Amino acid sequence: MAGETITRDGRIELRQRNEKWQNPPLFIDMLDCINCDACLRHCPPHFGAIFNHGADVVIIPELCSGCDKCLPVCPVDCIHPITDGAADEHAPNDWWALPLSDHDPY
């Protein structure tokens, strides 16, 4: 419906960001990440964008508002905005199983 705020469930279903989000989504540089899960615990549940994916910790860009709440808690400073092709702006297909599974931490 026009003007209606899409919920997280809606974003998961449509695989789309909220058009009103001004900040770019973030991504995790997996080469530096030490898999401590601190970011995952600090992502607000109504965004719920960070997941354990096998041995990796990943951010689904379409669920990430760019609120930056995860940034200060990362001990190795490996979370960055997706700008100028720094990373893919769309989650790979298999990541979309994460928020729909028992592994959804939110």
CB of 28 within 8 A of CB of 39? yes
Closer to ligand SF4 at the Cβ: 35 or 97? Answer: 35
Decide whether 12 or 50 has the Cβ nearer to ligand SF4. Answer: 50
Burial grade of 102 (CB within 10 A; 0-12, 13-18, 19 or more): exposed
CB 63 within 8 A of CB 47: yes
Residues in touch with ligand SF4 (CB under 6 A): 26, 28, 33-39, 42-43, 47, 49-50, 57, 59, 64-70, 73-76, 78-79
Q: How far is the CB of 36 from ligand SF4 (least distance, A)?
A: 4
